[in-house]
Structure 1
Amino acid sequence: MTKTLYLLRHAKSGWDDPVARDFDRPLNKKGEKAARTIGQWMASNGVAFEHVIASPAVRVIDTLDSLWSGYGRKLEPTWDRRIYLASSATLLDVLREVSDEHDSVMMVGHNPGMEDVVFDLVPDDGSSPLREEVEVKYPTAALAQLEIDIDSWGDIGKPVAHLKRFIRPRDLDPELGPDAE
């Protein structure tokens, strides 16, 4: 059996917004556009998932709001505070708790945790050019799709995943490239 995991890093947030806590930072306009663009790409490429787990940080909530507007439908996420600025180990613990009735899950959170999950699950054996792209940078609003050779989410953790797709906003719209980061 194979499980599919989508890892979405939140879109670009506004550092010039005067908020008291990092947790409360909203997206900026380019972040909103990037998330909407990724959502449109997901819809046009048949990306589907049964369950969403997300950090409750404002920039993740905003990312999902913009993503859904591009995707054309909304799934209500399970909000999990443990995802906020979590390590890969913590993110994998959260994933191990997912019900096995879900074969396809999207997790929405923060770096470096998102890219570290890719590094922990995809073998570093030179066979994945996409993994090498993640090593260069996992930019905001980027989406990774991993196919994982496990029967149960409880078994996640060994480097047995295949990185099927790694989509960055700049791949879809050059205006959303590095100078916009």
Structure 2
Amino acid sequence: MALRLILTRHAKSGWADPIQDDKDRTLADRGRADAARLGRWLTDSDIDQAIVSTAARTQETWSVIAQIGAIQAEAQNLDALYLASCDVLLQTLQRATGNCVLLLAHNPGIGELANRLIKFPAPHSDFVHYPTCATAVFDIAAPRWSDVALGENILQNFWTPQS
């Protein structure tokens, strides 16, 4: 079976408490609304594994997406994904076990990974800076996650809250 990757940046976080630790920031109202729209967009996506940063905003984004999109996959929550580099995200992905994997993390790593995974340039102008809640769907050009390589994969779809 072909591998599919759904690469998502967390939704818009709130800044109501300026001294709150960055990792503890939750979603803004706009972020919750955007995550709900993304959940509807991902309905019927066959996600069977979710790998999610432990930051509050990524956890909340996943919770909304899974609930609205009726996604049954349980999340694997990893501290190492909090502000992870492209290399760490790729190494994490190379240990995935599902057929359709959603990886939910932060910029700049998530945007860099998206831009380095694709074989052909993305036609969407927002793809380069990967805004909050941006989501790319890739068909992976490898038989196993351990063989995923940069610059080899086909971008099937790209969604942003402004789409």
Q: CA deviation at 1:159?
A: 1.1
Rounded Cα–Cα distance in structure 2 between residues aligned with 1:53 and 1:143: 14
Partner of 1:77: 75
Report runs of 4+ in structure 1 exceeding 4 Å deviation. Answer: none
Gaps of 5+ in 2: none
Rounded Cα–Cα distance in structure 1 between residues aligned with 2:29 and 2:19: 17
Q: Against the structure 1 CA distance between its residues 30 and 74, is the aligned structure 2 distance closer, same or farther, given a 3 Å change threshold? A: farther
Partner of 2:139: 147
The alignment partner of 2:162 has SS state of helix
Partner of 2:160: 168
Residue 28 (structure 2) pairs with residue 34 (structure 1):
no
Residue 105 (structure 2) pairs with residue 109 (structure 1):
yes
Name the structure with the higher helix share.
Answer: 1
CA RMSD of aligned residues (A): 1.6
Q: CA deviation at 1:96?
A: 1.1
Q: Max radius of gyration: which structure?
A: 1
| 1:19-62 per-position Cα deviation (integer Å, ceiling 9, x unaligned) | 5310000101110000001101111xx31211000000000111
Partner of 1:134: 127
| 1:136-169 per-position Cα deviation (integer Å, ceiling 9, x unaligned) | x311111110111101111112311011111011
| TM-score, length-scaled by structure 2 | 0.92
Gaps of 5+ in 1: 172-181
The alignment partner of 1:36 has SS state of helix
Percent identity of paired positions between Structure 1 and Structure 2: 31
| TM-score, length-scaled by structure 1 | 0.83
Residues 18-27 or 50-59, more deviating:
18-27
Partner of 1:95: 93
